[in-house]
Structure 1
Amino acid sequence: MRPAAGTYPQYFDHYISLVEENEVKLALQKSTEEFLNFIDTLPDEKAEFAYAKDKWTLKELLQHLSDAERIFSYRALRFSRNDTTPLPSFDENEFVEFGNANQRSLHSIVDEFKTVRNATLSLFNSLSNDELNRKGIGSSQTCTALAMGFIIAGHTKHHENIIKERYL
């Protein structure tokens, strides 16, 4: 099942619309296969390339994916466990600024993404429909665990598209 409108903040519509599958576990699995195949083709010489002044390098963008996925997965875990404690937002630009991605190898950043994604798959594969439909609050907005899974898959696709359009 796809997340229904109103079960997630409207500003995530774009990410969710990029997901073709109608089942979260399948969506995450397909996203994983497609993105890992794609990032394995990224040229090392583009690792520290930024397409414009004050834009992230490819390394920073890839690390952003891991950082955001950790946060989104954590939210999904908390929501699925019926934790209604409001969770704070995060500033992705500060995360990138202090993440030191450009001091790391591209290979290490890709390996980190693979590890994070495997943990995400494990989490979502363990959740029942009841758990997926539980709601919580993140960044002052109500969202379900199910929607967080679609957001993760769509966020990955969004950035894959940006890499193809602006980095390669």
Structure 2
Amino acid sequence: MQSILTPEEYNPYYGVYIDKAESSNVVDGLKLDKHKFIEFVNSIPDEKLTYSYGEGKWTVAEVLQHIIDTERVFAYRALRFARKDKSPLMGFDQDEYVPNSNANNYTKKEFIEDFEAVRNSSITLFKGFTEDMLTQIGEASGSPMSARAAGYILSGHQKHHLDVIENRYL
């Protein structure tokens, strides 16, 4: 996916996520990934939600909540950038969010409901962006990022973490 973005649109750190995005159209990718998330969560055995594969590692539930939290943060970034807000945005500390998320008390149904609400909002947001809005660049975590890069990061970030769950937890 990286080929449609210019190097000025994102920090190379995010390349690993952008490369995992499976559609060249942000909205189409978010729609496709929505269904994949729901199917994946439904396939997780209930007893595995609070499983962690090692000391200090997140549980499956915490990884799912991290995907949802990140969606909220990056959709907000995309909104700010698309609206030409040039105020630098601070990063967010995922290692503070996760233990304060209460994720281990959620059910699969609750994760799916929360994710669907957030993802539907992201889809609506990105649908409303013009090409000019998508290419607007702002600053987050001390690096440039375009609104469209934030969308591709959302898709790739989800895929990355679902792959991690599948390979290390299940």
Task: Settle same-fold status: TM greater than 0.5.
Answer: yes
> Which residue does 1:74 correspond to in 2?
76
After superposition, give the CA deviation of every residue in 1:126-158 in whole Å (9 maximum; x if it has no partner). Answer: 111011010100101111000000000000000
Letter in 1 for 2:16: H
Q: State the distance in 2 between where 1:112 and 1:30 align.
A: 17
Aligned residue pairs total 168
Whether contact under 8 Å (2:86, 2:139) holds in the other structure is: yes
6, 12, 15: which is aligned to 2:17?
Answer: 15
Question: How far 1:106 moved relative to its partner?
Answer: 3.1
Cα separation, partners in 2 of 1:106 and 1:35, compared to 1, 3 Å: closer
20, 34, 41: which is aligned to 1:39?
Answer: 41
Kindly report the root-mean-square deviation, in angstroms, between the aligned alpha carbons of the 2 structures: 1.2
After superposition, give the CA deviation of every residue in 1:95-139 in whole Å (9 maximum; x if it has no partner). Answer: 001111112333212221111111111111111101101010010
TM-score by length of 1: 0.95
Secondary structure of the structure 1 residue equivalent to 2:145: strand
Q: 1:127 aligned to 2:129?
A: yes
> Which residue does 1:141 correspond to in 2?
143
Secondary structure of the structure 1 residue equivalent to 2:4: coil
For structure 1, which segment, 97-106 or 14-23, has the greater mean C-alpha deviation from structure 2 after superposition? 97-106
> Which residue does 2:159 correspond to in 1?
157
Question: How far 1:74 moved relative to its partner?
Answer: 0.1
TM-score by length of 2: 0.94
Unaligned 5+ runs, structure 1: none
Q: State the distance in 2 between where 1:71 and 1:158 align.
A: 17
Q: How does 1:47-66 map to 2 (within 5 A)?
A: 47-66=49-68
Question: How far 1:6 moved relative to its partner?
Answer: 2.3
Unaligned 5+ runs, structure 2: none
Q: State the distance in 1 between where 2:101 and 2:120 align.
A: 21
Whether contact under 8 Å (2:42, 2:108) holds in the other structure is: no
> Which residue does 2:32 correspond to in 1?
30
Whether contact under 8 Å (1:79, 1:145) holds in the other structure is: yes
